[in-house]
Amino acid sequence: MTLTRPVCLFADRASLDRGDMDVSKIESLTRFDSRDALPAGSLASAAADAEILIVNKIPIGAEELAALPRLRLLCVIATGVNNIDLDAARAAGVPVVNVRDYAAAAVSQHAFMLMLALSTRFRDYQRDIENGRWQAQPLFCLLDHPICELAGKTLGLIGYGHIARAVERIGLAFGMEVLIARSLRPDAEQRPGRVDLESLLRGSDVVSLHCPLSEHSHHLIGEEQLRLMKADALLINTARGGIIDEPALLKALQRGWIGGAGLDCLEQEPPANDNPVIQARLSNLIITPHNAWGAREARQRLVDGTAENIRRFLAGESLPNRVA
C-alpha cells in the first residue's frame, strides 16, 4: 500500500449514486473527489491531478488519456467497457478494471419481470381496469388478452455470463427448458451442448440477450434473425441496445413476426423524444430506462467492487477484473 493516498476522481457519480451509496471504502484508500456529471470537454481540467479515475459511461479514448498524464488506474464502475478505447489505454500504460457479477440478482429478476409482464399481458389488463372495463362487465374476470404460461416453454440465452446463469436458474425453477447459444466470437472454443444462433432463434419461445456489445454482437438481432423466431416468441434485452436493430424490431412487432419484446436499453441513451420505438406505443413492447441493474444492493456491490479493485492495485496485487 502506498504511504500517500492517491488522488481519485469519480467523474459521473450521479449515474449510480442518488445519495444512497456508501463510498467510505474508496475514501479510506484515496483522496477522493466526485462530480455528478462532468460537462463535455471538462474531463481534462477536472481530472488533471487524478491518479485514479472512476467512470461509468464517460467515453475515454486516446485524446482523454493524453490529457491525463498523472493517471495510473482507470476504474470502470460497471461491467461493460464499450465506452473505453482499450487499445489506447494499453498504449498509454494505464490499467483498466471493471466490476463483474454485481448485478446478477437484480438484472435476472428484471428480465423475468419483463417476461412475466408480457406473457400475462399485465399492462393490458391494468389499462382495462383503469378504463373501467372490468368494472363494467357482468363476469367476475377479464380474459380478453391471451395469457400464456412460461412452464414448458424454451428459454434461449445469448451470452452465458453471471447474469445469464442467474436467468437460467430462474427459468428452470419456472419449469422452462433452456438453450444456450454458442459464443459469438469466431475464435472462441465452442463448448459442447450449445447451439448455433439460428437453431436457438427458431427453437426458443423466449430469447434473452446477455452478451456484451462488440463488433460480433452489434445488430446481432436484425430482420433476418427476427423472421426466424416463432410468431409468439418474446425477445428480452437487458444487455445493450446496439445488439438489436431497432427499426427491424419495430417492423417485427408491428407485423406480428414475433409476439413481443421487453427492452431495458436502447441504442441511443438517453433516447430522443422522437425515437420511433418509444413513439410506437405498442402493447406488445415494454421499455424500461436501463435500470435493470439499479437495485440499491447491486449498486453498493458495484461501489465496493471498485474499492476492492483500487485496494488491490495500490497493494501491488493482481487485478482479476483487469480488461486492459
Active-site pick, 63, 198, 224, 269 = 269
Count Cβ neighbours within 10 Å for each residue of 79-114 and write b for 16 or more, e otherwise: bebbebbeebbeebebbbbbbbebbbbbbbebbbbb
* C-alpha to C-alpha distance for 258 and 255, rounded to whole angstroms: 8
Instruction: Supply 272's cell numbers.
Output: 430522443
* C-alpha to C-alpha distance for 305 and 130, rounded to whole angstroms: 43
**What kind and span of H or E run contains 208?**
strand 206-209
Task: Give helix then strand counts, H and E, for the chain.
Answer: 12, 11
CB 181 within 8 A of CB 195: yes
Active-site pick, 210, 290, 299, 301 = 290
Active-site pick, 240, 246, 301, 308 = 240
CB 287 within 8 A of CB 277: yes
Active site residue 269: yes
Active site residue 290: yes
Instruction: Supply 75's cell numbers.
Output: 476504474
Query: Catalytic residue numbers?
Result: 240, 269, 290
